[in-house]
Each structure stands twice: as C-alpha cells, then as structure tokens.
Chains A and B, each alone.
Chain A
Amino acid sequence: MIRDLVTRWPVVKQILNRADGTGVEAMSERTLHMRPKNDGAEVAHSVCPYCAVGCGQLVFHRGNKLISIEGNPASPLSRGRLCPKGSDSFELTTHSKRLTKVKYRRPFGTEWEELELEKAMDMIADRLWESRNESFVEKQDGQSLMQNKTVAHLGGATLDNEENYLIKKLFTAGLGMVCISNQARI
C-alpha cells in the first residue's frame, strides 16, 4: 500500500516515466476513466423532426431517460450529419418549458388554470359535439351534403402520417368537418 501511494505520487511518476508532468501522468482518475455519456445505452432509430430532408437520428436512452441524440451514419440521406436544428433535438425534447399538463383558460378569463387530462378531454368532446351538431347540414336540394363548417382543424406537417390519417378519418369521414388545413400548399 505504501508502495502504491508512492508510485502514484506525481513527482515519482514523472521521474519513473521520464515525463515532464504535463502528459498522461498528470491525468486525474476522472480523466483516465472518461467514457462517453451514452456508453452502453440503448439506441432508438429516429428521424429529425425539423425540415423535410429527413436526416437519420440515433436516440440514446437508458431507463426511460433520454441521454443524447446525434446523426445516424448509416442513413444514405444524411450520412450521419445534422444541421444546427437537428443537432439541438435533445434540448428540444428535454428543455424546462415543455408543457406537461393541460392549461385551461375559461371564457373571458385572465389566467391559465391547470386541468386534469381526462376532464379536458371530456370538455373538448362536449364542445366539439355541440358545435358540430348545431350547424350540421345533412342534405341540400335533396342531395347528401353531410357537412359542418363551424369547427375547423389546422395542422399536420409536423405530425406523423398515422396521426394525419386518424385526424382526417375522425374529423372528415366521421364528423363531416370540411374546414381542414395544414401548412402544405404546393
């Protein structure tokens, strides 16, 4: 043990290794054992959520916690590279201003209130049902119209295909809402 203590002494190390005290011999335990933070983590394959190039992303996680996100070198589209926005995907997902609860503003209200998720869903379903039915037109000139024009939807270009499919299915094919739009035009 004494021998161990002595040989770990920087001056002794220097003399023994003929070093000048600025190299590996001066590394702390932390430095010597340094490994990347995603060492041994699980990897999910994903796609950048920003522009339409669709760069591949490797999402490192452990125990339901995100560790880091970087490019996927295997992607023939992006070859592992990411622009500044794609490179910031970890911050996008984990920053402190992410919404985690439903915020509710009552009519003419001056502040947000918190609302329980299931209650919010019930209230939204009520309003959707009432508004849709109040101005639903089944027929016009004896022909099927099946249309509501007082409830609208906006959004889609950042959503999954599966999500857009369900939105159109429920809102249009189910409820007859025709005022549906998103960022896409040409």
Chain B
Amino acid sequence: MPGLGTTYGRGGATTAPSDLLNSDVILIMGSNMAENHPVGFQWVMEAKEKKGAHLIHVDPRFSRTSAVANTWVPLRAGSDILFLGGMINHILQNELDFREYVIHYTNASVIIPESFKDTEELGGIFSGWDPEKKQYDTRSWLYQGVQIPSDSGDQNPNGQSGGHSQHGVDSSTDLSTYEQDLTLQHPRCVYQIMKRHFARYTPEIVERYCGVSKEAFLNVANLYCGASGPEKTAAMCYALGWTQHSSGVQIIRCAAILQLLLGNMGRPGGGILALRGHASIQGSTDIPTLFDSLPGYLSMPKFGPSSKDLASFIKANKPRTGFWNNIDKYIVSLLKAYYGDAATKENDFGFNWLPRITGDHSHQAYWLDMLDGKMDGLFVIGQNPAVAGPNSGMERRGLGKLKWLVVREMVETETASFWYESPEVQRGDLRTEDIETEVFLMPGAGHVEKEGTFTNTQRLLQWREKAVDPPGDARSENWFIYHLWRRIVEKAKLDPSPRNQGLLALTMNYTLEGDHREPSSPEILQEINGWTVADHKLLSGFGELKADGSTLCGAWIYSGVFPSAGRNRANEREPKDEYGHGWGWAWPADRRVIYNRASARPDGSPWSERKKLVWWDEAAKKWTGKDVPDFTATKPPNYVPPPGAEGDAALAGDKPYILHADGFGWLWVPVGLNDGPLPTHYEPLESPVSNPLYPQRQANPVGLNRARPGNEYATSPDARFPYVLTTYRLTEHHTAGGMSRTLSHLAELQPEIFCEISMELANELKIEHGAWVTLVTARGAIEAHALSTSRIRPLKIGDRRVHQIGVPFHWGYNGLVKGDMANDLIAISEEPNVHIMETKGLLCNLLVGRRANNVAKLKEYHSIAEGKTA
C-alpha cells in the first residue's frame, strides 16, 4: 500500500475503527462504509450520535452511507485528486496547517535541489521523465545535500521502484543528510514547492471539474480543517473508491498529506482507516501471495547487480538509519525459516535458491501472457477472476488458453465452469470442444472447518478455532500445499540439480493431525513468529532477530504473536482497555494506533488532555499511555543521535516515523513511487473532459493501459461513450458472488443486476423505471435493469452536463441468482505502483433494451464482435 507506505513508513490502516469514537470529524470518501463495512460502521454511528462527530461523505452516489451522513457532497468519479488537492491548497493558502506538528514531524522544511522541476514548470510532468521508456528517473526528487550515487541503486527492471515492498527504501542514498529551513520560507523547501504545485487547485476548478459547488466544497474544507490542532482531530476512511484508479496511489497520497498538514496522524481520532475488503487481505499483503514482496514487506530480489548475492541484496536494501536498517536480520531469519538447516552462512543462507523477478509478474501482466498462449498452468484459490477480474470477458478467454487449471473453492464458481457456461460459450463465440484447458475443481474447507489466523483491516491477527470437519474431500489449503509438496519433493529427489536445491531444503516439518493428516496450523504460526534455532525457543519480538543464522522467522512484522509455547496471542480474548489489548494481537508489536509518538508534543507531553494517547514519563524514563508506544520505549523525547549512529539510534527523540530514514512523515516522497513525489491531477484513462490543469498530459503518464484488441479504450472525450461509469458493491453481496449469490438468504435480497441512473437521464432516453438496458464500453456490453433515482445526479463538468451511471459488479452465470458481469466493461489497466485496475470513472453508453436486442448496434462499438476471439 504505497500511498500510506511511502508517506508514513508502513502500508496499512493506521488505526482501528473503534478509534473513530475519538474523532471530531470523519470524512468518508472513496468508500461506502455503511454498506461494505456495516459492523465497522457502528463506531462511526456512535461517534456521530454519542460524541457529536460530524460525518462527511463525498461520493458520486447517494448511498446508504450518505443517507446517515451529516453532509453529503456528490462529485465526478475520477476527480478525487482535484478535490483533495483543493483541500491541500486551501490549507496552504490560508495557513491552516498545524504548524508545530508540520515543522517537527514532517519533511515540510527539507530543501529540494534546483535540478527538480515541478509539473507546473514542465506542463504536467516532473523532472526526470524519459519519454521513450515512459518512466521517471526519480533521482532528481531526492533531498538537497543527499549524495546521488553513481550506481542507480536497486531499481526494478522497469527502472521503477514502488510496489508493495519496503516503501521508500533506497539504501544507496543516505536520506538522513538533508538540509532544512525551519521557517518554511526557503523557496525550495517542500512547503513552498507544495504551495506552488497546488496553487491552481482552487475552489473554482473544483466547481468546474468535480461538479461540486464552491460553497459545498468550502463547507467540507472548513469543517475538516476546523478539526485540527492540539484539541481536535479528524479521521479519514477510504476503500476502493480511491484505490481502483489509474492514479489510485496518488489519491491516497493526497489524503496522507492532508493528515500530516493538519496534524492528525498518530493521534486518537485521527489517522487513516484504509478499509480493506476481504477477511484477510491485510494478511495476504503482509505474508504476501504477491509477486514483488516477501513476508514482512521485504523486496523480492530483482535480477541484477543487487541480487548477485546476499551481501549485494542487503547493501541495496539497508538504509543507514531507521528500522529498515535491520533488514539483514529479517532476510536471514526468513531464509532460515524457508530452508532450515540447509541454509548456512556458506551458501548465503540459500539466497540463491530464491527466484529473481524480472519485470511485472502481477495478475494483469501474466494474464496477458495467458491470452498470448505463454502460460501452462494456473492455481486459483479463493478468487473468481472470471467475474471479478478486469475485462472479465478477456479473463475468461485467457483461462481457455491454459494447458491446465486448478481451482480450489467451496462452490463451483464461474472461473471453474467457464469452459461450458461462460457467455462466450453460451452465445457460440467459443466452443467447449475447442477449449483444451484441463480443469481440476477441488473442494475447499470453510472458515469453521479449519483453524488459523486472519489479519483484518486494522492489522489485528485473530485466531479461528475449528468447529467441525470439512465435508467429503474438502480440505484446507495447508493440507493441499503440504501434500502437493510431499509428492513434488519425491520427484525432486530423483533430480538433485541446482534448480531443486531450494525445494529439497524446504522445511515442512509440521505435525500431521487427524484422519486427514492436516499440518498443524499453530506450528506454522510459530514458524511465522520465529524461534532461536539452537533451542527452539520462541521469540517475543523482531528485536530478537539476528543476521547470523541463529534465529528463524517467517515474517518479522508478526514476530511476537506466539511468544512462548502455549501462548498464541492471536487466540487471546480478554480485552482490557479502550484499544482492545488482550483481544488478538496487532502488528507491529501490538501497537493499535501506529505513529503514536506523534500524539505527544516534541517535548513528550500530550498535545492536550483531551487527545492523550502516548506520552513520556520522566520519572520512569519511558514512554507510556493508552497504547503500546510505536517508538523505542526508553528513547527520551530530547534524544539527539550521536554522529555515525545507525538504525533506530540514528533517529532523534522527536521523529515519529521510525521506518523512514529521516524519521519524518513525508509530505514529499523522495523515493518509493513511480509517478511523482507529489500527487498531480490526471484524468482517468477514459474521461469526458481533457485535463483542465495539463491539457497535454491527459492521463497518468506512467500508467499502463495495456491496450490491445479486446482491451481497447475510448478517447477522452468520446462521442460513442458520453456517460461516466462507476462500479461498486452492495451490502447484500460479496465481491464476485461465490459467497452470496449461492446463498438463498442473501440472493433474495438483491436478486438481479441493476444500474443506477438519474431521473434526468431516464427522461432524456425515455427509459421506464426497471426496464432492461444495455450498458456498453469499449470492452464489452452487459444488460441490467435501469433503476432511476434521485440519488444519482448529473453534474456540470466544464461546459457540459455529465451523467454518471453506477453498476454493482456481483453477478455471474452461476448461483441461485444470475446476471451479467459488470467487469466485462472494465479495462485491463495498471496503476504504475501497484498494478491495480481502474473501475471507476470510465466512459460508457446506455442503449434501451436487452443485450440480445442490441447485437447489431454493439458491433459498431467493439473489435470483438460476436464470433471473433481475442
């Protein structure tokens, strides 16, 4: 999560939903929290009803969240950076920032070299742009006074940094040698550069291009900025309304900047709640089934000089200052966890058995390889790309190009049945007999049929006890991987060539339990926690990790969850305080509000009685308070690092952002992002208007649109596609529908797909309420009922009236209730840092009548007309 990760040091929600009780103002934007996190929303409702908090909802649609908000403001999908940038400008122009916080806890005062040029000077791009490679050389974004190395450092093969790992770590540069102007007047200090950068994000431009009246915008800005300072805090909640954009990371950067400027981060009722969508999606980022990171946000080794050997890798990833200075301890302990006794100092602890990455191996990237026939096999476990993937029609076609497919699920999903049930097959575009893909559909265990941990949106690990056995041949994924490994390793024993050394060394010494011979989950969690190799003594935290091979640890950020035999802290259920300590265990080190050093003044005393969280106890000479301090417990507030100090000892006592080499919260991101040190407004990949700020730079220049036949884009604007499309979720369903459309009690609540259109559009097109309509984009077409409502409104954008249309994406061709797949309309595109697709703010058209009645007309829109394949 680089938006938060680069700004603060760690990607992930910075607080818990219950902390919203302490907020004076709550801004929900890019989220429909009441519908998609209803039980989490109880805290918002209670803050509003019991504590008088003011709830603001900014969203293209009037949803169930808007219905209970104090203030709702509609805006054009895709214009979030203009709106948030407008708020940043409002603060900077009117000096509404929380000055003491900004000076001490952010890099506002740091000076940027003259070689840096802003988007305002270069017509929409920053300095360092390579028009041929379509990427930035980011070195001109570094701080003045920082040595730029001759070796370009650990840049990935696309020349880009970013991604999921180690946000903002580039150890080849020592960021700690910066220069500052604490008066914030120097023309090239971050504060002044920001002022110039955001100067044109005015209320006028917000009105004209977001569709938000100046009054409404200023009302929100004043409400939100008014809850700033020692006595007040405000919080933000966001979800996929911010992330699923071609500039998604930069939208979140705007929010992160606002929370620093207003001094909300790390304080009770402040912070940013990144509301994630799946039971353990935080866990699947922490212990990543992602291509570019290793557990605990370590970088996957990138092929090149930095991965020649372990020492090169460490050198490329180990900054002199801050907590990432310990990376050698983390990577060696991980290698010991993976390869056990076979990992020794002599063989670099098996570092060369790890594969290197050589480019973009994310879902979208390898799926395009699938479409081109370059992939052999695919495992799909608990995901349903045939419905939920971007350009789901292409996802389904891609499945048909595999040699073999293994799907593990509780039900037969659309991904498993594509070869006989997909619309392409039903319509005759593709024939089952022509699809080679060998398919294994395996039954999976449900959540009460296996024990293990989920990590929720507030970084909390909670253990689930097993209640009953899975039915029939259904098994857990632990079972599947273990017994697959057992078979594979027998084959590897017959071929001990270098490629199989890692495999043969892999430790899988788990006790097998029960009739099914299920590997022990507690033992796996213990391995993740770590122990000292010599005596198998469990570790109580990442502070005990060593780089000499004497410790092993599967994920350093989780170390401490299982600190002694029999004590599984994720399985503890005795909450003893306001922050729930004693119930589950949060990473890092059970800190519930991270960066909480910032909840105290530079001198260590609380900002106010009302907003106390963590403070310095001079008598006991340690930090104390209501939460575990996110800081070295005994480091005094006035600590000054001695020259040459390393790691955490190199950070002063008033630097809360301990993962950063300079200890600052980064208003300006010198390293770690591919598309700019500051957020800049670009239009979505398809837009009804040209970029009002930079007409020559329409969309994010670094974004990948992966245009190809079947994945075409509209022009911006496009006469064929006059309306703005956004996709979203409903309370009653869950993602691709495998866990909701299959259940009678949920299916009956929302049985059929519908799209929401304004009354004005319904009148204009003479569409009867409830009638079938066909939605079409440059990729595909679907049919849905038209639900005309006042909750969707046309907006005045530029000189035009722009209609927005929303459609929920939950339907597919299986289950108790069926419907077309909204993601057939979406493009395969990749935001430049995390490769996420854009599902909001695209262009579409709306035809009256069902899809089958519009076949002839649809041929005008698509290169994939009926009968052709990708």
Question: Footprint of B on A, CB under 8 Å?
Answer: 42, 44-56, 59, 61, 64-66, 69, 74-79, 81-86, 88-89, 91-93, 95, 97-108, 110-112, 115, 117, 120-125, 127-129, 131, 133-136, 138, 140, 143-186
Contact = CB atoms under 8 A, between A and B. Distances in A.
A53 B40 contact: yes
A152 to B, nearest CB: 5
Contact of A95 (B249, B403, B440, B742): B742
26 contacts: A44-B464, A47-B454, A49-B447, A53-B40, A74-B573, A77-B583, A83-B39, A84-B745, A89-B447, A99-B441, A112-B441, A127-B376, A128-B488, A152-B370, A153-B289, A158-B279, A158-B280, A158-B382, A161-B461, A162-B478, A164-B287, A164-B289, A170-B485, A181-B361, A181-B362, A183-B735
B481 interface: yes
B474 A160 contact: no
Given A102-B443, A155-B408, A159-B280, 8 more contacts: A48-B279, A117-B473, A150-B374, A151-B377, A155-B382, A165-B524, A172-B300, A178-B357
A77 B571 CA distance: 15
Contact of B376 (A86, A88, A135, A167): A135
Contacts of A53: 17, 37, 39-40, 456-457
Question: Most chain-A Cβ atoms within 10 A of its Cβ — which of B3, B377, B524?
Answer: B377
Nearest to A158: B382
B487 A121 contact: yes
Given A154-B379, A160-B452, A84 B366 contact: no
B740 A85 contact: yes
B745 A88 contact: yes
Contacts of A149: 361, 366, 369, 374-375
10 tightest A-B CB contacts, nearest first: A100-B472, A54-B456, A160-B452, A157-B278, A155-B381, A156-B284, A156-B289, A99-B443, A163-B477, A157-B281
Given A161-B286, A174-B503, A146 B447 contact: no
Contact of A124 (B37, B294, B409, B440): B440
A8 B838 CA distance: 71
Contacts of B740: 85, 88
B122 interface: no
Contacts of B243: 185-186
B136 interface: no
Nearest to A72: B573
Contacts of A91: 743-745
B339 interface: yes
B419 interface: yes
Nearest to B444: A99
A49 B279 contact: yes
A124 B363 CA distance: 21
A98 B283 CA distance: 26
Given A107-B438, A146-B355, A164-B288, A159 B381 contact: yes
B484 to A, nearest CB: 6
A64 B468 contact: yes
Contacts of B433: 108, 110
Contacts of B716: none
B649 interface: no
Contact of B36 (A51, A95, A145, A171): A51
Contact of B383 (A44, A51, A78, A183): A183
B537 interface: no
Interface in B195-231: none
Contacts of A102: 440-443, 473
Interface stretch (B95-103, B269-277, B630-638): B269-277
Interface in B355-373: 355-358, 361-363, 366, 369-370
Interface string B563-583: 000000000010100001001
Given A53-B37, A146-B355, A184-B285, A178 B452 contact: no
B618 interface: no
A174 B437 CA distance: 25
B338 A173 contact: yes
Contacts of B524: 162, 165-166
B71 interface: no
Contact of B290 (A174, A177, A181): A181
Question: Most chain-A Cβ atoms within 10 A of its Cβ — which of B383, B483, B835?
Answer: B383
Contacts of B474: 98-100
Nearest to B497: A138
B548 interface: no
Contacts of B731: 83-85
A48 B42 CA distance: 16
B446 interface: yes
Contact of A161 (B283, B290, B380): B283
Interface in B336-359: 338-339, 352-358
Contacts of A184: 276, 278, 281, 284-285, 288, 290
Contacts of B719: none
Nearest to A145: B356
Contacts of A167: 289, 381, 477, 481
A173 B446 contact: no
B739 A180 contact: no
Nearest to B503: A174
B525 interface: yes
A145 B355 contact: yes
Given A46-B465, A143-B303, A166-B478, A127 B502 contact: no
Contact of B457 (A54, A61, A169): A54
A173 to B, nearest CB: 4
Nearest to A135: B376
A154 B284 contact: no
B484 A125 contact: yes
Contacts of A164: 280, 283-284, 287-289
Given A82-B39, A99-B410, A156-B381, A172 B355 contact: yes
Interface string B19-47: 00000000000000000111110100000
Given A151-B377, A181-B366, A128 B484 contact: yes
B476 A163 contact: yes
A157 B284 contact: yes
Contact of A108 (B286, B289, B434, B455): B434
A83 B17 CA distance: 15
A92 B339 contact: no
Nearest to B309: A144
B257 interface: no
Contacts of B497: 138
A88 B547 CA distance: 48
B443 A101 contact: yes
Contact of B438 (A95, A106, A181): A106
A44 B285 contact: no
Interface in B420-477: 420, 432-444, 446-450, 452-458, 460-469, 471-477
Interface string B516-530: 000101001101100
A122 B488 CA distance: 9
B392 to A, nearest CB: 13
A143 B289 CA distance: 25
B452 A161 contact: yes
Nearest to A172: B355
A104 B440 contact: yes
Nearest to A138: B499
A129 B836 CA distance: 31
Nearest to B814: A97
A74 B572 CA distance: 11
Contact of A76 (B280, B419, B580): B580
Given A84-B731, A167-B289, A160 B477 contact: yes
Question: Most chain-B Cβ atoms within 10 A of its Cβ — which of A103, A108, A129, A155?
Answer: A155
Given A120-B442, A155-B381, A172 B354 contact: yes
B712 interface: no
Question: Most chain-A Cβ atoms within 10 A of its Cβ — which of B370, B457, B488?
Answer: B488
B275 A85 contact: no
A183 to B, nearest CB: 6
A183 B278 contact: yes
